[in-house]
Homo-oligomer: A and B are copies of this chain.
Amino acid sequence: MTFSSAITEVNVDLGNKSYPIYIGENILPDLGKYLKKPQMGLATGTKIMVVTNPLVYDLYGRTVMDSLAEAGFTPIPGEVPDGEEYKTLDSAEHLYDVAFDNGLDRKSVVLALGGGVIGDLAGFVAATYMRGVTFIQVPTTLLAQVDSSVGGKVAVNHPRGKNIIGAFYQPKMVFTDIRTLHTLAQREFRAGMAEVVKYGVIWDCEFFDFLVNEHAGVMNLNTPEVTRVISTSCSIKARVVEQDETEQDVRAILNYGHTFGHAYEALTNYKKFVHGEAVAIGMISAAVAAVRLGMLSAGNLERIKNIIRLYGLPENFGALAPKEIIASMGHDKKAVGGNIKYILPEDIGRVKIVSGIDNDVLTGILSQQV
């Protein structure tokens, strides 16, 4: 479906769970109009619970609610407090209450308006309310636009681990309004760029070079550059997820930087680093490991370090004991049978999955990068 020439469409091809991602400027005021098109299959009057937080609601809530109402839908606000600490079963229960009290049924819609926390939480509610209702994502942060909008991972946190309770549940469609990036904090934008850089390293050398060469245009939020950043990232993630929806094998390459990164986040109680920052440091850790194992050239390690610096992301985790980092990685939910999988770059644009690295080697690597 083409709305207008200004909208870029990326398709995620998952058989009968396929869905489109629409990327463009000023999508939000027209959201109702888009959803009303017959091919969307949403009847007039359909109840749409708009899951968001007060911060996002202040910026875009009215626009979205009005747009939906004008198009003949029945929008219902589903608000949760802002912050990862509210990505819990308690928040999900609150949203079940709102849904139930407002008479949402199996033909209703749950719409996520916000960043990754909102997307994960709303998606979990959509996946489990009445055994699954239509889920629409409207991501408003770069991280959500390039990462959580593709792949159907939805979850809430457990007191003892992030994303422990969740499902694979695909949205019916995703709408990305790049204008929302203008209100995004600089730190959050840079953190989102860590995931974007990741796609270059694991899959696409040309895209990596584009990110280096067009750094100014990207940081300036120029429309062509930002559109390419988001659409290429979504395309790469889509190609990976299409091969392996439920992460049995190849999808693991998306965890490049994350195995180490999750440990850095956890050991600093999710306070020192935002997710993308920890991933940036983790990408360097993995690249250092790759060099140590003779898989990657020192020159390519430098290129990875340089692009992370270029986007103002941190390179070091600071004062953490290698022993603790290794123990923390063993608790990651991706560790199977205690065996940790590492995603290590072989070149810019190509990674390899390596099962297990000797503890002494790991300690050596981690002692360096403080």
Contact = CB atoms under 8 A, between A and B. Distances in A.
Contacts of A168: 131-132
A354 interface: no
A316 interface: no
B164 A129 contact: yes
Contact of A167 (B105, B127, B336, B338): B127
State how many copies of this chain the complex holds: 2
A129 B335 contact: no
A318 interface: no
Given A107-B336, A128-B128, A131-B155, A96 B246 contact: no
Interface string A144-162: 0000000001010010110
B100 A166 contact: no
A127 B165 CA distance: 9
- Looking at chain A's contact residues, the main secondary structure is mixed
A299 to B, nearest CB: 36
Interface string A125-140: 0011111100000000
Interface in A332-348: 333-338
B106 A333 contact: yes
B165 A128 contact: yes
Interface string A37-77: 00000010100000000000000000000000000000000
B132 A246 contact: yes
A14 interface: no
Given A105-B336, A107-B337, A336-B107, A96 B132 contact: no
Contact of A100 (B45, B128, B158, B335): B158
Nearest to A330: B103
Interface string A64-107: 00000000000000000000000001000100110010010111
Contact of A96 (B106, B130, B163, B164): B164
B128 A96 contact: no
A93 B103 CA distance: 26
A252 B233 CA distance: 41
A127 B128 CA distance: 10
Contacts of A338: 103
A153 B168 CA distance: 16
27 contacts: A43-B337, A89-B89, A89-B93, A96-B164, A96-B165, A97-B160, A100-B158, A105-B336, A105-B337, A106-B333, A107-B336, A127-B167, A128-B128, A128-B166, A128-B167, A129-B164, A130-B164, A130-B166, A130-B333, A131-B155, A131-B163, A131-B166, A131-B167, A131-B168, A131-B246, A132-B246, A167-B167
Interface of A: 43, 45, 89, 93, 96-97, 100, 103, 105-107, 127-132, 153, 155, 158, 160-161, 163-168, 246, 333-338
Given A130-B164, A132-B168, 18 more contacts: A96-B164, A97-B160, A100-B158, A100-B161, A106-B333, A106-B334, A107-B336, A127-B167, A128-B128, A128-B165, A129-B164, A129-B165, A130-B333, A131-B153, A131-B155, A131-B163, A131-B168, A167-B167
